[in-house]
Amino acid sequence: MAEPDHAFYLRAMGVQSWRLRRAPEPRLAPQPVLAQGLPPAAPAAAPAGAEAWEALQRRVAACQACELCATRTQTVFGVGDRRAEWLLIGEAPGQQEDLRGEPFVGPAGLLLTEMLRALGFAREQVYIANMLKCRPPGNRDPAAKEVLACQPFLLEQIALLRPKIILAVGRIAAQNLLNTQQPLAKLRGVRHQWRDIPLVAVPHPAYLLRSLTEKARAWEDLQFAWTVYSQLKE
Ligand code: SF4
């Protein structure tokens, strides 16, 4: 993104200075086991992971487990680094995501990208997925049976990725992942657990685009997520 656009999104977030002092260290590729003087590693580990990802993506693309398959343009599997430590989970594809086959595109996606950049991440350094892989018509909330039908795919993505932290992006994602009906306002700013993985709830960028007063608070949410993540390394 050009610098003027970057500045625009920082201003749009209602934040004057929006950069952490220390960017996160990228996850390093594992050193060859042999170089550490240990017995040779199983040689197929990385390819098997890649094959598992590809097989899962193919299964998602062919899925007809709920009625959303009838109205989708295409499935929206997820994007990003498949070794990322940060996993962002949104609700479901919108119109533009359905057309492009990628989560969080359009103005809300640009804002999310800027939020990540402010944390020191390129969009490509995290993994971004939705609970649902197909667009609910008219961008309605996902039905419970649709969430249930699509859940195995998300569980497999999490199992393959093994993230260090999950960001639940938006109320719907947070409520479903935490199995609660509490409003997002009560879920923000708290370290939750999704199984053994810490989870932080943040507002959906589409909501932030509509709500001027919430933009600066969203920065506090991200700073909190960073604090949770940093504590994992201590
Ligand atoms: S939303 Fe999920 S379960 Fe429903 S058809 Fe799409 S991929 Fe299958």
What does each of the 234 residues of the chain score in pLDDT, given as a tens digit?
444 444 554 555 555 544 544 444 444 333 332 233 333 334 444 445 999 999 999 999 999 999 999 999 999 999 999 999 999 999 999 999 999 999 999 998 999 999 899 889 999 999 999 999 999 999 899 999 999 999 999 999 999 999 999 999 999 999 999 999 999 999 999 999 999 999 999 999 988 888 777 877 888 999 999 999 999 977
Alpha helices in 120-214 (DSSP H): 144-161, 171-178, 184-187, 205-210
Structure confidence at residue 37 (pLDDT): 31
40 falls within a domain: no
103 CA to centre of ligand 1 in angstroms: 15
Structure confidence at residue 14 (pLDDT): 56
Ligand 1 within 6 A of 143 CB?
Answer: no
Mutational pocket test of ligand 1: of 71, 77, 146, the residue with most ligand atoms within 8 Å of the beta carbon: 146
180 falls within a domain: yes
The DSSP annotation for 19-57 comes to --SSPPPPPPPPPPGGGGTSPPPPTTHHHHHHHHHHHHH
37 falls within a domain: no
31 falls within a domain: no
Q: Tokens representing 84?
A: 């990322």
Strand partners, 128: 79, 88
Q: In ligand 1, which atom is closest to the CA atom of 132?
A: 1
Structure confidence at residue 23 (pLDDT): 44
Phi, psi of 165, rounded to the nearest 5 degrees: -150, 145
Structure confidence at residue 233 (pLDDT): 73
Mutational pocket test of ligand 1: of 63, 147, 151, the residue with most ligand atoms within 8 Å of the beta carbon: 63
2 CA to centre of ligand 1 in angstroms: 36
Check: CB of residue 221 under 8 Å from CB of residue 227.
Answer: no
62 falls within a domain: yes
Check: CB of residue 132 under 8 Å from CB of residue 147.
Answer: yes
Distance CA 109, CA 204 (A): 10
Distance CA 49, CA 223 (A): 32
- Return the amino acid letter for 101: G
154 CA to centre of ligand 1 in angstroms: 11
- The distance in angstroms from the start CA to the end CA of the chain is 33
Q: Tokens representing 35?
A: 């170089």
Phi, psi of 152, rounded to the nearest 5 degrees: -60, -35
Ligand 1 within 6 A of 69 CB?
Answer: yes
17 falls within a domain: no
Ligand 1 within 6 A of 178 CB?
Answer: no
CATH at 162 = 3.40.470.10
Which residue segment(s) compose the domain that 173 sits in?
47-232
Ligand 1 within 6 A of 221 CB?
Answer: no
Burial 111-138 (b: 16+ CB within 10 A, else e): bbbbbbbbbbbebebbbbbbbbbbbbee
Ligand 1 within 6 A of 65 CB?
Answer: yes
Check: CB of residue 142 under 8 Å from CB of residue 170.
Answer: no
Neighbour order of strands in the sheet with 79-80:
79-80, 127-130, 86-90, 165-169, 197-202, 192-194
Ligand 1 within 6 A of 115 CB?
Answer: no
Structure confidence at residue 5 (pLDDT): 46
Q: In ligand 1, which atom is closest to the CA atom of 92?
A: 1
145 falls within a domain: yes
Check: CB of residue 151 under 8 Å from CB of residue 131.
Answer: yes
Domain count, the chain: 1
Structure confidence at residue 90 (pLDDT): 97
18 falls within a domain: no
Structure confidence at residue 119 (pLDDT): 87
Q: In ligand 1, which atom is closest to the CA atom of 63?
A: 8
Distance CA 219, CA 234 (A): 23
